[in-house]
Structure 1
Amino acid sequence: MSAHTATAQTTTATSADIVRQVGVISAVTFMLIAAVIGVGAFGGTRVQDVQDDALSATGSYLAPASQAFSIWSVIYVLMVAYAVWQALPSQRADARQRVLGWWIAATAVLNGLWLVAAQFTTLPLTVLVIVLLLVTLGWTFHLAVQNPPRGVRQALFTDITVGLHLGWVALATVANSSAWLTQIVPAEWGQAADAVGIAVLVVVALVGVGIAIASGGRVAPGLAMGWGLVWIGVGRAFDEPESMPIATAAWIAAAVVVLVPIIVTATRFARNRA
């Protein structure tokens, strides 16, 4: 078995497996604590209110409406479910957990670190952390694709969890970077906002298509990206800064990233039946 491919169930547990299980639980716990602080509990400032409101729903032309962020509840629930499930004795020596466990833990830590960076550091550092999170999620998802799940539970707790996290963070990286650039570019550059925004959304759609094709039609990343894109459209259509061209482009991109993985999956299924 290669370092990155789990081909069989391993039955002999080691101390390293227990360390991995504890590490995942610790990482997800850290992420949850950071999330609680990030929503303004314990007297803290909500994320959308820090950094001079740069991260709010009106912070840039590519910021999604505030309703979009409810997806975090789904991602956090799935991450907690994964942490509990992978801690079961039946998963301790599982070959797939040995490949994915520490990487999923790393995504949880970086998720929490982004919230810490947003609260206590600078906007450029939030961009750096979220890019690192995106890269780590991309690699983790790649490993999940290379090591197909055995059964529904593995697909739900690993692939769907990582896929939704990846798709949403891909959108969040665009919004975060746009918020930073909005703060530093000259005001007159706003005249090109529509053209630049549409160009970025085209790239986002291409990235979604690339993920769908490379993963053989996994739908979770596209669903999360599509969710974020729909709410970018809503934000630009009904809130400030207003831009119907960007709203329209966002809705078209949403349709693309959701439909392409479905088409890829249907095509593969039809080919296998032929």
Structure 2
Amino acid sequence: MLRPAINAVRPAIDAVRPAVEAVRPALRTASPYLRRTREVLGTDLARQCAVTLGLLFSLVAAAGGSGQFGGTAIKDAAGGAYSTEFTLLAPDGPAFSIWSPIYLGLAAYTVFQWLPGQREALRQRAVGWLVAASLLLNGIWIVSAQAGLVGLSLVVMAGLLGVLLVAMRVLNRHPAGTRAEVCLVDVPVGLYTGWILVAAGANAASWFTVHGIDLFGWGADVWAVITIAAVSFTGAVVAMSGRGRMSAALALCWGLGWLIIARWFGEPGSVPVAVAAGFGLFFVLMCGGSRTFRVGHEERRAIRQGYVPEI
């Protein structure tokens, strides 16, 4: 029964066959290029969309975390565990205004990575997914903190800090090619990283305080000073990396400065914590400033001598 149908279709197949045979070599030649184009465009477009969606999610979560949608503000969640008065490592209220330049910088980065010249840029491919992951984690942290899940927020914060430290290392490995790229990529990520260092210390202090944990019975002041030392050392390492990460240093010092004010003039007061924060602030600024000055000095000397040194 099928043979008559096959015989009826065969002339049409025979007529199309020469055209197919003529096109086949061109398709075979173009296939690797088409495959590569599909892979590149798909991956890069997905990365750009992930960064954009991550920023939108983080902004919406931030608006919700401030109570603009009618829910509980983060500072009032979990019995005030994230408020300035709850732990010795929470900076004073005005410190959190740094989120405005951070979000503005991340928005500028998001627009910048959509430029045609940045789609296939090796640097964007290396750091873009990390920025997208950090924005997603930031939004998740806000949601978990607003829900009063202090333990979950600490885990998410640790992941966020880890992602940003890796992002800083990637940026150091792939230096910026222009000043515009420094301003639109390195500076926002640096501000973000420096502030999250402060936030991670405060988040850890909230969790320990909520659960009433005092390791070895050393007291809150001692552990706060140890945490400030660890945060300051990490910030100094970041600030001295690459060509000098002053944006990360300044964000960290901003947080430490408001921590000094909170502990010196506010409650709970702690002179040791305020003094430790002051030493940390000075240490981080000196490390970041010295690295930036040295790199600039070497470059100026190299220009005078007619070559570019490896820093």
Tell me if 1:58 matches 2:85.
Answer: yes
Percent of aligned pairs with the same residue? 36
Q: How does 1:186-265 map to 2 (within 5 A)?
A: 192-265=219-292
* 203-212 or 245-254, which deviates more: 203-212
Larger Rg: 2
TM-aligned CA deviation for residue 194 of structure 1: 2.3
TM-aligned CA deviation for residue 186 of structure 1: 5.6
Q: Report what 2:22 is aligned to.
A: none
CA distance in 1, matches of 2:193, 2:207: 21
TM-aligned CA deviation for residue 264 of structure 1: 1.5
TM-score, length of structure 2 as denominator length: 0.80
- In the alignment, is the contact (CA less than 8 A) between 2:51 and 2:129 conserved in 1? yes
Q: Report what 1:101 is aligned to.
A: 128
Say which SS state the counterpart of residue 244 (structure 2) adopts.
Answer: coil
Question: Structure 1 200/15 Cα, relative in aligned 2: closer, same or farther at 3 Å?
Answer: closer
Say which SS state the counterpart of residue 47 (structure 2) adopts.
Answer: helix
Q: Which structure 2 segments of 5+ residues have no match?
A: 1-36, 303-311
Cα deviations by residue, 1:212-243 (Å, 9 ceiling, x for unpaired):
23334221111111000011111001111011
Matched pairs, number: 263
Question: Structure 1 92/51 Cα, relative in aligned 2: closer, same or farther at 3 Å?
Answer: same
- In the alignment, is the contact (CA less than 8 A) between 1:22 and 1:87 conserved in 2? no
CA distance in 1, matches of 2:117, 2:242: 27
TM-score, length of structure 1 as denominator length: 0.90
Tell me if 1:116 matches 2:143.
Answer: yes
CA distance in 2, matches of 1:206, 1:186: 24
* Structure 2 counterpart of 1:86, from 110, 113, 119: 113
Q: CA RMSD in A?
A: 2.0
CA distance in 2, matches of 1:204, 1:174: 7
Question: Structure 1 190/48 Cα, relative in aligned 2: closer, same or farther at 3 Å?
Answer: farther
* Structure 1 counterpart of 2:49, from 6, 16, 22: 22
CA distance in 1, matches of 2:140, 2:214: 31
Greater length-normalized contact order (CA 8 Å, ≥ 6 residues apart)? 1
CA distance in 1, matches of 2:293, 2:242: 14
Tell me if 1:134 matches 2:161.
Answer: yes
CA distance in 1, matches of 2:146, 2:284: 32
TM-aligned CA deviation for residue 192 of structure 1: 2.3
CA distance in 2, matches of 1:268, 1:156: 17
CA distance in 2, matches of 1:26, 1:186: 38
The one-letter code of the counterpart of 1:65 is: D
CA distance in 2, matches of 1:258, 1:105: 29
Cα deviations by residue, 1:80-132 (Å, 9 ceiling, x for unpaired):
11112212223222221111111111111011010011112510100000000
